[in-house]
Amino acid sequence: MIWSESRKWLLLLVVCFGLLISTSANAYEYPFKVETTGANGHWEVVAKNTGPAPIYAVISLASSKNISSDRSWPVSVLVPSYSNKTVLKIKQKEPGGSAGFSLRTTFKMGDPDAVPDLKVLYRLPFQDGLQFRVSQASGGPITTHNEKGAKYAVDFPMPVGTSVVAARGGTVIDIVRPNKEGSKQTQFLDKANYVRILHDDGTWATYAHLLHFTSELYLGQRVKAGDPIGLSGNSGYSSGPHLHFVIQKNGGESDTSIPFSFYNQHRGAFVARYGDIVAADYTEAGSK
């Protein structure tokens, strides 16, 4: 509680719900916060994003007394990476007496208005010379890809410890790596290790079920297509060792899965289908 000179009060309660990833609820605490500055009946609400991803936040009034603002509630704002943004100004409505408010903030990675570049082709997310069968993909038998954020995901069964590489260049925005175990039991739904890499069009790639503590990437790191990002594993909700690969964007209430195409030397561009055996054969690592 902060008191002004005239004994008016300001109670600021910022409750942040980190809606960071649909693959796992066990995401790290993203460095985003909403602060209020000011006194004597005049305040500014400032959103501070010190992380590598754009953040879409919705700020609402949890409670209020004798105040007015220069924007209607709730207030939505997109805060670019590594930046601060003044969201709104609040002032005491009637002089004399007390005035105060509390805020509630929800936030999510990504720009909901981002337009995916569907012409981009992705290299396969494993090292040259390797080939694997697709065990789950859009249009085939679906066992676990039932949510909006997994509709176009592709699963590649592979031995634990297989090198996983970036399918497209971008910026590392999310990493979870300490989970050791995996099983197709509900207690493992939020126990997948994963890496998320943000692309220039506002989409990101999620590489999930990685082996614990095998990714040496750091938040904000730039990677190129073909760069190693970790080793495959069986962490989280999984029926066996495999890599779960999906392209996503901020879809509002939840992440949205985006359709995409791979390419390699002998097939050119293709959409991975259930049962396909796909080979990584690239003379140069990179997405087209």
Q: How confident is the model at residue 189 (pLDDT cuts 50, 70, 90)?
A: low
pLDDT over 80 at 1, yes or no: no
Q: How many CA atoms lie within 13 A of 18 on its CB side?
A: 13
Q: What tokens appear for 52 in the block? A: 């590598």
* pTM to 2 decimal places: 0.83
Q: Are 89 and 183 in contact (CB under 8 A)?
A: no
The string of pLDDT tens digits covering residues 260-278 is 999 999 899 999 999 999 9
pLDDT over 70 at 52, yes or no: yes
* Choice among 14-18, 118-122, 186-190 with the minimum mean pLDDT: 14-18
Which residue pairs from 237-241 have beta carbons closer than 8 angstroms and sit at least 24 positions apart in sequence? 237/144, 237/182, 237/183, 237/184, 237/185, 237/186, 237/188, 237/189, 237/191, 237/192, 238/182, 238/183, 238/184, 238/188, 238/192, 238/209, 239/143, 239/184, 240/157, 241/157, 241/158, 241/159, 241/160, 241/209
What's the rounded Cα separation, in Å, for the pair 101 and 9?
Answer: 9
Q: Are 266 and 211 in contact (CB under 8 A)?
A: no
Give me the pLDDT at residue 28, please.
55
Q: How far is CA 45 from CA 17, 37, 91, 149, in A?
A: 18, 7, 11, 32
- Mean pLDDT across 222-251: 87
- Mean pLDDT across 109-120: 96
| CATH code, residues 121-279 | 2.70.70.10
pLDDT over 80 at 179, yes or no: no
Question: What percentage of the chain reaches a pLDDT higher than 90?
Answer: 61
Averaged confidence pLDDT in the chain: 83
Q: How confident is the model at residue 216 (pLDDT cuts 50, 70, 90)?
A: confident
| CATH code, residues 2-109 | 2.60.40
Q: Which residue has the tokens 């700020």?
A: 59
pLDDT over 70 at 188, yes or no: no
Give me the pLDDT at residue 238, please.
63
Residues near 204 by beta carbon (within 8 Å), at least 6 away in sequence: 109, 110, 170, 173, 196, 197, 198, 247, 248, 249
What's the rounded Cα separation, in Å, for the pair 225 and 11?
Answer: 48
**Could you tell me the residue ranges of all domains in the chain?**
2-109, 121-279
Q: What tokens appear for 113 in the block? A: 């208005």
Q: Which residue has the tokens 């030397």?
A: 265
pLDDT over 80 at 192, yes or no: no
The string of pLDDT tens digits covering residues 12-45 is 333 222 222 332 223 457 899 999 998 888 999 9
